[in-house]
């Protein structure tokens, strides 16, 4: 998230981060610049916990960038919270990165030999250190040069004392949009965010997406842009449409709500079943369930209620805590489910343990039949591009057939959306090329980048 040209830039970024909280709950940070200094405050926890009024007052300036983090590489520590600020011969640079770099090989080692002193164990710092050690003359050349040297997923915003930069990797894995607040008495405020829902609180208008391979620079003189990479096929993460982004965001130019509802409709067309009602697994299954109900003509009922006050303490990696967490988070509405044939809609099955608990819960509430429908294809392979999926070993669909998964989760029937159905629902094609410009690697195991070590690092159980 970034803001350029607003007298209280920190507060604008704070509001934006509030709307982006679902993208990361581990840590958050805001850096501001006022032409001379670059301030940076980070903390562990939620945006609202870290940025009190007192803290926001310590962040002066008319430019700001911010970040919410959930870790995919590097430890989950304050050390790795972002923005990351690095001092260099090109001045102070702060960066906020969404995504995950891959094939870094010996870049870090090479930089250290050249005198780079790394402050973090995060992959994101590599980009700033590359810029700091670049031989290119101007800062913007150094950034373009550095971005061409790394591979993987990166939507980034960067800030120096007097400029904001925004860029997407050449394949456009992660979203990044640009918006504008029109000021009656001066130049526009230019904003960038991973999701357009962040613009709404700021009353910013969505202008366009930052393009894959594009580097945008915002200075006092306005917005300029250059394409630092061309000719690379687009592969934008389809999981943003399936699960990650909020339905009130426009991702890759398409409303997430529209995609999800269409996934539900398509699911009903592909694998309809005789039943009494359609019930979402809240929140992630709600929009697809609406589509499924509309297409099938069955009533949509909230047969599971989510407790919105369950703290993050219960979203623990440890299995025992996770099992308990499901019960704390969801509770069945017996009155609706008793004696009914229920179609449950969820967005994905990762390990299968949550889904099994939920199916048991619905049956325990008296449902006569439980049919689980998933609004994407089976997740068979991990993500290396910024989504924290477990290794193949723990992905149930990498190790079991659909019938075996059905047995494991104890459902009367189980069906997933087809790959074509999902692509169609998400508005493919986005761009020419394979899979209509989408990355679908976690559903196919075919990665758009080179990843030679996939099976070595993450041994699959046959
Ligand atoms: P499972 O049955 O695999 O244990 O859990 C499936 C649930 O996890 C679904 O409700 C889905 O919304 C949620 N989910 C989907 N993707 C992710 C992810 O990347 N990380 C986490 N923590 N949960 C996810
Ligand atoms: Fe998205 Fe899956 Fe590709 Fe990762 S592997 S970028 S989650 S589509
Ligand atoms: Mg869910």
Does ligand 2 come within 6 angstroms of the Cβ of 395?
A: no
Q: What number does the ligand 2 atom closest to the CA of 440 have?
A: 8
Tokens of 53: 């009024």
Question: CA of 378: how far to CAs of 297, 407, 417, in Å?
Answer: 26, 15, 8
| H/E element, 157 | strand 151-159
Q: Where are the beta strands (DSSP E) in 383-430?
A: 413-416
Which residue from 155, 237, 392, 428 has its CB within 8 A of the most atoms of ligand 2, so it is best to mutate?
237
Tokens of 443: 């559903």
Which residue from 440, 445, 454 has its CB within 8 A of the most atoms of ligand 2, so it is best to mutate?
440
Single pTM value for the model: 0.94
Q: What number does the ligand 1 atom closest to the CA of 349 have?
A: 3
Nearest CA to ligand 2 atom 6: 237
**SS3 label, residue 63:** strand
Which residue from 354, 376, 395, 411 has its CB within 8 A of the most atoms of ligand 1, so it is best to mutate?
354
Count of CB atoms situated within 10 Å of the CB of 328: 13
Main-chain dihedrals φ then ψ at residue 190, nearest 5 degrees? -105, 130
Burial status of residue 108 (CB atoms within 10 A of its CB: 0-12, 13-18, 19 or more) = middle
Instruction: Measure the CA–CA gap between 353 and 307, rounded to whole angstroms.
Output: 19
Does ligand 1 come within 6 angstroms of the Cβ of 387?
A: yes
Does ligand 1 come within 6 angstroms of the Cβ of 244?
A: no
Compute, in angstroms, the gap from residue 316 CA to the centroid of ligand 2: 23
Which pLDDT score is estimated for 309? 84
Which pLDDT score is estimated for 182? 96
Which pLDDT score is estimated for 450? 76
Residue with token string 């995609």: 259
Compute, in angstroms, the gap from residue 324 CA to the centroid of ligand 1: 15
**SS3 label, residue 319:** helix
Count of CB atoms situated within 10 Å of the CB of 132: 22
Count of CB atoms situated within 10 Å of the CB of 355: 25
| Contact yes or no for 180/186 (Cβ under 8 A) | no
Tokens of 389: 């999926």
Compute, in angstroms, the gap from residue 213 CA to the centroid of ligand 2: 18
Which pLDDT score is estimated for 311? 60
Instruction: Measure the CA–CA gap between 85 and 141, rounded to whole angstroms.
Output: 19
Question: CA of 163: how far to CAs of 3, 8, 168, 391, in Å?
Answer: 10, 16, 17, 39
Nearest CA to ligand 2 atom 1: 237
Torsion of CA 264, 267, 268, 272, to 10 degrees: -150
Compute, in angstroms, the gap from residue 443 CA to the centroid of ligand 2: 8
Q: Per residue of the chain (462 residues), what is the pLDDT tens digit?
A: 999 999 999 999 999 999 999 999 999 999 999 999 999 999 999 999 999 999 999 999 999 999 999 876 676 678 889 999 988 888 899 999 999 998 777 888 889 998 888 888 888 899 999 999 999 989 999 999 999 999 999 999 999 999 999 999 999 999 999 999 999 999 999 999 999 999 999 999 999 999 999 999 999 999 999 999 999 999 999 999 999 999 999 999 999 999 999 999 999 999 999 999 999 999 999 999 999 999 999 999 999 999 988 765 444 555 555 567 688 889 999 999 999 999 999 999 999 999 999 999 999 999 999 999 999 999 999 999 999 888 999 999 999 999 999 999 999 999 999 999 999 999 999 999 899 999 999 999 999 997 545 544 443 332
Tokens of 441: 């690697």
Compute, in angstroms, the gap from residue 173 CA to the centroid of ligand 1: 20
Count of CB atoms situated within 10 Å of the CB of 241: 30
Which pLDDT score is estimated for 461? 30
| Contact yes or no for 166/192 (Cβ under 8 A) | yes
Instruction: Measure the CA–CA gap between 349 and 67, rounded to whole angstroms.
Output: 28
Instruction: Measure the CA–CA gap between 438 and 432, rounded to whole angstroms.
Output: 10
- Domains of the chain are 2-232 (3.60.20.10), 240-447 (3.40.50.2020)
What are the respective helix, strand and coil percentages of the chain, to the nearest 5?
Answer: 35, 25, 40
List the shell of residues around ion ligand 3, using CB closer than 5 Å.
284
Question: CA of 439: how far to CAs of 152, 237, 265, 434, in Å?
Answer: 12, 5, 22, 9
Instruction: Measure the CA–CA gap between 421 and 398, rounded to whole angstroms.
Output: 20
| Contact yes or no for 410/359 (Cβ under 8 A) | yes
């Amino acid at each position: 998230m970034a803001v350029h040209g607003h007298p209280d830039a920190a507060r604008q970024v704070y509001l934006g981060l509030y709307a982006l909280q679902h993208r990361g709950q581990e840590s958050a940070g805001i850096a501001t610049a006022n032409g001379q200094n670059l301030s940076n405050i980070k903390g562990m926890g939620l945006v609202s916990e870290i940025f009190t009024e007192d803290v926001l007052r310590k962040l002066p300036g008319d430019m700001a960038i911010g970040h919410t983090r959930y870790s995919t590489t590097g430890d989950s520590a304050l050390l790795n919270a972002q923005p990351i600020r690095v001092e260099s011969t090109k001045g102070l640079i702060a960066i906020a990165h969404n995504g995950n770099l891959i094939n870094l090989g010996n870049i870090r080692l090479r930089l250290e030999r050249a005198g780079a002193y790394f402050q973090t164990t995060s992959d994101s710092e590599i980009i700033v250190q590359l810029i700091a050690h670049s031989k290119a003359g101007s800062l913007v050349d150094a950034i373009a040069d550095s971005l061409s040297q790394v591979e993987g997923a990166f939507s980034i915003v960067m800030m120096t004392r007097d400029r904001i930069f925004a860029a997407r990797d050449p394949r456009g894995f992660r979203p990044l949009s640009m918006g504008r607040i029109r000021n009656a008495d001066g130049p526009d405020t230019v904003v960038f965010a991973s999701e357009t829902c962040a613009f709404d609180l700021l009353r910013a208008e969505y202008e366009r997406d930052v393009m894959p391979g594009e580097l945008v620079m915002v200075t006092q003189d306005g917005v300029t842009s250059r394409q630092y990479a061309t000719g690379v096929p687009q592969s934008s993460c389809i999981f943003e449409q399936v699960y990650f982004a909020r339905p009130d965001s426009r991702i890759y130019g398409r409303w997430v709500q529209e995609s999800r509802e269409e996934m539900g409709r398509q699911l009903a067309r592909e694998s309809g079943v005789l039943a009494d009602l359609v019930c979402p697994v809240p929140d992630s299954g709600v929009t697809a369930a609406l589509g499924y109900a509309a297409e099938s003509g069955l009533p949509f009922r909230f047969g599971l209620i989510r407790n919105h006050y369950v703290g993050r303490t219960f979203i623990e990696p440890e299995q025992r805590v996770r099992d308990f967490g499901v019960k704390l988070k969801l509770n069945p509405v017996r009155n609706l489910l008793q004696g009914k044939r229920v179609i449950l809609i969820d967005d994905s099955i990762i390990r299968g343990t949550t889904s099994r608990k939920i199916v048991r819960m619905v049956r325990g509430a008296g449902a006569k039949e439980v049919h689980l429908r998933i609004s994407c294809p089976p997740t068979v392979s991990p993500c290396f591009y910024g989504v924290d999926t477990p290794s193949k070993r723990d992905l149930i669909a990498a190790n079991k057939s659909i019938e075996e998964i059905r047995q494991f989760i104890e459902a009367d029937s189980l069906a997933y959306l087809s790959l074509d159905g999902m692509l169609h629902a998400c508005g493919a094609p986005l761009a020419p090329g394979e899979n209509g410009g989408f990355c679908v690697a976690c559903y196919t195991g075919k990665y758009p980048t080179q990843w030679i070590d996939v099976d070595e690092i993450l041994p699959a159980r046959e």
